[in-house]
Structure 1
Amino acid sequence: MGRSARLRTALASTLAAGLLLAGCGGESGDGEVTGSVVDPPFEVAATPLTDTEGKPFSLADDTDARLTLVFFGYTQCPDICPMVMQTLTSGLTKLSDEEREQVDVVFVTTDPATDTRAVLRDYLDRFDPSYVGVRGDLDTTATVAESVGVFVADGEELASGGYDLGSHGTYVIAVDGNDRAPMFWRQDTSADEFRSDISSLLGDA
């Protein structure tokens, strides 16, 4: 079985487990969590992409916060991407100042032909200027995405050559300080659920 097939199998198992956790209240430390726990966590690829300042950015080597939340999407997405980003942003505003300082957000575009550095920066500034935007060619992006259980090529191909992942499930991935991804959230996660789960993860870190 190839690497991609193994990752697909692992993600399918995690999704099934996540449904059970959501139904009975999965636990992280002393609190219940809504997100799907990945056990063992995904190992995040160190393959570098490029940030909006033109500098190399690796989801493993350049994520120094205790918790980094990673979203794969594209700026021209008409519904799911902005919905998830807005809900996540609302959830982060509910954290204490101390907690918020320990969390970074990274948006990885799946439509690099359209999402130039300037386009990405303008888009993310509408949510929070501290958010990091990164891009790369689709093969590199797919390699990074697969390391955290996201399969870019499974999305609907866009006219630009990128991918819309929305119709196949769009996730926010949690990356911890050890370059592992122990949890992910589905697109229907509420702001309060993000806040609660992020607080639990920070408490466990």
Structure 2
Amino acid sequence: MRDRLRATLALVVVGLLAAACSTGGGDKGFTGTRLETPYQAADIALTDTSGLPFSLVEDTDKPLTLVFFGYTHCPDFCPLVLNNIAAGINMLDDDESAKVDVVLVTTDPTRDDEKAMRAYLDGYNKSFIGLTGDLDTVIEVGEPLHVYVNDGKKLPSGGYDLGGHSTFTLGLDDSAEAVALWNQETSAKEFAADIRTLLTDD
């Protein structure tokens, strides 16, 4: 009960933080939160499912990259969010979806090696990118994006279940700045609509 309360309070804090950073200027029809002061991703390499180094700064050159921190054994939020993102991407035209990457950064690297992540993500979309690495590096990648991995519930494997702490999806532009975020309740239709909006922004 105490853990659930703490997770709920943390989610409220994240929501208040997002609201404080949003443009708040009547962006009607946009479900997510626009960030008035974007979060700059750190140029820190993790390892993708091909075993190659991958940085959210150097290797995300599409107009939009959706980034979510989670893990393959997650029983609730991760599959919900990834399923809605995948369904949202499927609602886009081919030329629109070609401008979007989706990245899952594991918070449970002991169990989520390259092979495990590839098999997991293929169940959603074969183009989705999975990143793993040592836990300290994952934590370091998350911090400038306001994803505090080590504040989550400790897993037996040594990783973290973020639960209600940081279950949001970030939208990075082609400068590797997070300009928007969405909570775990965002639907596929809402993801699709917001992605279209971001892709048509100047």
Instruction: Determine if the TM-score, normalized by the shorter chain, exceeds 0.5.
Output: yes
Matches within 5 A, 1:147-166: 147-166=144-163
What is the CA distance between 1:110 and its match in structure 2?
A: 0.3
Q: Quick one: which amino acid aligns to residue 152 of structure 2?
A: G
Q: Quick one: which amino acid aligns to residue 186 of structure 2?
A: T
Match of 2:183 in 1: 186
Whole-Å separation in 1 of the counterparts to 2:156 and 2:191? 33
Q: Provide the alpha-carbon RMSD of the alignment.
A: 2.0
What is the CA distance between 1:32 and its match in structure 2?
A: 2.7
Match of 1:129 in 2: 126
Q: Quick one: which amino acid aligns to residue 176 of structure 1?
A: D
Whole-Å separation in 2 of the counterparts to 1:72 and 1:202? 22
Whole-Å separation in 1 of the counterparts to 2:62 and 2:165? 29
What is the CA distance between 1:14 and its match in structure 2?
A: 3.5
The equivalent position to 1:16 in structure 2, one of 6, 15, 19, is 19
Unpaired segments ≥5 residues, structure 2: 1-12
Whole-Å separation in 1 of the counterparts to 2:36 and 2:17? 8
Match of 1:144 in 2: 141
Matches within 5 A, 1:106-117: 106-117=103-114
Whole-Å separation in 2 of the counterparts to 1:167 and 1:72? 12
Q: Given that residues 22 and 35 in structure 2 are in contact (C-alpha distance below 8 angstroms), is that contact kept between their aligned partners in structure 1?
A: no
Q: Quick one: which amino acid aligns to residue 177 of structure 1?
A: D
Matches within 5 A, 1:49-128: 49-128=46-125
What is the CA distance between 1:76 and its match in structure 2?
A: 0.2
Runs of 4+ in structure 1 displaced over 4 angstroms? 10-13, 18-21
Per the alignment, in what secondary structure is the counterpart of residue 33 of structure 1? coil
The equivalent position to 2:43 in structure 1, one of 43, 46, 59, is 46
